């Protein structure tokens, strides 16, 4: 018993140390900018200012590869959190497994045997991917801002776009 407790404490301390390293992560948002000529420019939203939108191909702060898109060429901007689709897929997958196990338990009157386990696993394998797809679609949607090359519309959406950018300038 003492050996298990020691092992548990060691694992817990290592996990807490690795969790503290993620404290200074920068939230990055992916931007998908549709231009007047129907082309789409993708990248990390680095900065949004009076000139337009600045997209970066990398997350580097020192010498980033920045592409500037003037606001008078933008028809719409779609912004979403990087990795949000995978988080939603994981939540949907877990919800699919839990709901399928609960459904199986409710319909077998608590008789837990090998057949029940097989049916539960089969239903989980059928429902969990559907839950993952629904979760990814919901979480990965993002926010859509329509500009239509208008300075007025761009200036209305500019404070929200600046909240999503890595570099915030007023």
User: What's the whole-model pTM score?
Assistant: 0.67
The residue extents of the domains of the chain are 85-138
Distance in angstroms (rounded) separating the CA atoms of residues 151 and 148: 9
Q: Residue 19: is its pLDDT beyond 80?
A: no
Question: What SS3 class is residue 44?
Answer: strand
Q: Residue 16: is its pLDDT beyond 70?
A: no
Q: Give the model confidence (pLDDT) of 54-76 as tens digits.
A: 999 887 767 778 999 999 999 99
Distance in angstroms (rounded) separating the CA atoms of residues 121 and 123: 6
Q: Give the model confidence (pLDDT) of 24-42 as tens digits.
A: 567 889 999 999 999 999 9
Q: How far is CA 80 from CA 19, 126, 141, 143, 160, in A?
A: 24, 29, 7, 6, 12
The overall average pLDDT reported for the chain is 81
pLDDT of residue 31: 94
Length of the chain: 170
Per-residue pLDDT averaged across 82-105, rounded?
84
């Amino acid at each position: 018993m003492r050996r298990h407790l020691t092992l548990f404490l060691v694992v817990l301390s290592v996990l807490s140390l690795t969790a503290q390293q993620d404290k200074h992560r920068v939230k990055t948002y992916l931007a998908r900018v549709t231009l007047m000529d129907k082309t789409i420019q993708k990248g990390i939203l680095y900065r949004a200012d009076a000139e337009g939108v600045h997209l970066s191909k990398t997350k580097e702060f020192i010498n980033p590869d920045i592409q500037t898109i003037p606001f008078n060429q933008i028809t719409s901007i779609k912004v979403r959190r990087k990795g949000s689709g995978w988080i939603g897929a994981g939540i949907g997958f877990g919800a699919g497994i839990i709901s399928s196990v609960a459904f199986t338990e409710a319909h077998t009157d608590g008789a837990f045997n090998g057949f029940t386990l097989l049916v539960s696993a089969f239903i989980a394998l059928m429902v969990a991917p559907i839950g993952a797809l629904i979760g990814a679609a919901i979480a990965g949607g993002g926010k859509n801002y329509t500009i239509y090359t208008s300075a007025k519309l761009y200036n209305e959406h500019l404070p929200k776009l600046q909240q999503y950018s890595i570099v915030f300038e007023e």
